[in-house]
Amino acid sequence: MTTPALRATRPGQPRCTAAGVRRRQMCAGTFAEFPAYPHPRRGRSLRALFPLLEKEGCRRQPAGWFFALVFLFPIVAHAALFDDDEARKQIFQLRNQVEARQKAIEERLSAIDARLGTMDSSGQNRVVDLAQLIESLKQDVAKLRGLIEVLSNQTETLERRQKDLYVDLDNRLRKLEQTQSQLQDKLSQGERSAAAEKQAYETALNQFKLGNYQLSITSFQNFMTNFSSSDLVPSAQYWIGNAYYAMRDYKSAIAAQQKVVRLWPENSKAPDALLNIASSQAEVGESTAARETLRALVKRYPSSSAAEQAKQRLIQKK
């Protein structure tokens, strides 16, 4: 497509040349103006662009020049091709678009300025709050450090005490184990001794029941020698006297039973020993001594079963 300056004019009109192009300085830049055609309407439509450019140009701000350069230049280039009405409509539309965009930009800038102002005031408040929070946190940290030191000292003290307690407890447990071992040994020895003691006593008593009086006497004597601290020693001595009585050795029987009465007067076998002495005395013909022994038995052990038998014998001998 040829430019308007080189395009052939209508019949009867002179050809436009490059010399007819006017240049005009605007907003520190150049704007190439299209040649003024002789046509009266088209000349007016092109001149109408210049006041718009001066109004919407860079006198206000650089943004206006930018929009004018971008949006007006194509319109000016095609203005010569259209009628005034169409060009005017496009100019008005362009003006409305430019104004709308400028208004939108100004509104956005105003919103940004307001937001920045709000952010500045709230930011200052936040800085103050943050400083107070930091100071409070520093104080809390200092308190926590103090508590940590106290807890560390207490922990060390408790650990030392715990170690001491462990050592003391270990020593006590060792001593207790030793004592328990000794007690178990003693108990086992005592149990073995008690078992042996009981077995020896029952063996001697079984010999008496079987009529083996001499063997019974020997077994009881061995028992008294081996288990001298036993509670069965008075009973063993009493059965020795009975064995002598069964063997008709009355003097030995009297001597053996007198030993029971003399050494263990509080024992349950003492009344029976006196009764056996009275029987032995009666067997050897000592009736008077037998009655005295029976009276002594009733007097010393009145509630015993041997005392009841003594009373019966005294009644029979009257």
Residue 93 in any domain: the answer is yes
DSSP H or E run through 30: strand 29-32
Number of domains in the chain: 2
Quote the domain boundaries for residue 269.
211-316
Residue 280 in any domain: the answer is yes
Distance CA 140, CA 127 (A): 20
C-beta of residue 280 within 8 angstroms of C-beta of residue 250: yes
Of the candidates 55, 80, 112, which is a domain's last residue? 112
- How high is the pLDDT of residue 274? 95
Residue 38 in any domain: the answer is yes
Residue 238 in any domain: the answer is yes
| Half-sphere CA count of 6, side-chain side, radius 13 A | 3
Residue 131 in any domain: the answer is no
C-beta of residue 221 within 8 angstroms of C-beta of residue 203: no
Q: What is the pLDDT of residues 266-282, one digit of tens each?
A: 999 999 999 999 999 99
- How high is the pLDDT of residue 276? 96
CATH code (residue 216):
1.25.40.10
pTM of the model: 0.45
Residue 228 in any domain: the answer is yes
Residue 133 in any domain: the answer is no
Find tokens 């059965």 and name the residue: 239
For the chain, which residues score pLDDT lower than 50? 1-50, 52-60, 79-82
Q: Which two tokens stand for residue 56?
A: 């919407």
In order of 96, 234, 242, 292, the CA distances from 274 in angstroms are 153, 13, 12, 10
How many CB atoms are located within 10 Å of the residue 92 CB? 11
Q: What is the pLDDT of residues 204-226, one digit of tens each?
A: 999 999 999 999 999 999 999 99
Residue 142 in any domain: the answer is no
- How high is the pLDDT of residue 38? 44
Of the candidates 83, 112, 141, which is a domain's last residue? 112
Angle subtended by helix axes 270-283 and 233-246, to nearest 10: 20
The DSSP line for 226-259 is: HTTT-TTHHHHHHHHHHHHHHTT-HHHHHHHHHH
- How high is the pLDDT of residue 66? 52
Q: Which two tokens stand for residue 206?
A: 């079984």
Of the candidates 112, 140, 166, which is a domain's last residue? 112
Of 237, 247, 149, 159, the C-alpha closest to 201 is 237
Distance CA 254, CA 305 (A): 20
How many CB atoms are located within 10 Å of the residue 262 CB? 10
- How high is the pLDDT of residue 113? 74
